[in-house]
């Protein structure tokens, strides 16, 4: 199968066999965990499954727990935090962010842009 935008081979489905991957491309996927996005946790959402408006102490604990797990089990892993400019800069929400950043700093976390993460991955995992 080819991508309609680029014409690149994406994958080829063989009905009676395994999935056959296409050409390797220089794309690095940065992992994202839905619970590390501020909007579903902090804003009022009309539709489930994300009820929103969680207690700030619950959000802080969840973010810290995710980081703690990463530090313990995936010390070279990436934990992405997504912050929206209309969600996070409000009173107590900034306190949640401040306390999370303090916790991350205490755990020895490094703060990188996604481009830096991708460059590091490419340098340590070159294409064959």
pLDDT digits (tens, 9 = 90+) for 33-63: 888 999 888 888 777 666 778 899 999 999 9
The neighbouring-strand residues paired with 56 are none
Give the per-residue pLDDT at 110.
94
Q: How far is CA 110 from CA 28, 52, 54, 107, in A?
A: 19, 29, 27, 9
- CA-based nearest residue to 116, from 78, 66, 69: 78
Residue 114, pLDDT > 90, answer yes
Give per-residue pLDDT as tens, 55-111: 999 999 999 999 999 999 999 899 999 999 999 999 999 999 999 999 999 999 999
Residue 5 has pLDDT above 80, yes or no: no
Question: 0.85 exceeded by the pTM?
Answer: no
Q: How confident is the prediction for the chain on average, in pLDDT?
A: 86
* pLDDT of 12 over the 80 cut: no
- The Cα 55–Cα 41 span in angstroms is 9
- For tokens 């992992």, what's the residue? 31
């Amino acid at each position: 199968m080819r991508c309609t935008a680029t014409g690149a081979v994406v994958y080829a489905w063989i009905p009676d066999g395994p999935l056959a991957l296409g050409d390797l491309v220089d794309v690095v996927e940065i992992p994202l965990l839905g619970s590390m996005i501020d909007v579903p946790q902090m804003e009022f959402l009309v539709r489930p499954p994300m009820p929103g408006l969680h207690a700030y102490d619950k959000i802080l604990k969840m973010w810290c727990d995710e980081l703690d797990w990463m530090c313990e089990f995936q010390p070279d892993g990436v934990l992405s935090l997504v912050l929206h400019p209309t969600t996070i800069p409000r009173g107590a929400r900034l306190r949640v962010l401040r306390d999370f950043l303090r916790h991350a700093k205490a755990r020895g976390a490094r703060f990188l842009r996604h481009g830096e993460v991708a460059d590091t991955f490419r340098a340590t995992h070159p294409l064959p």
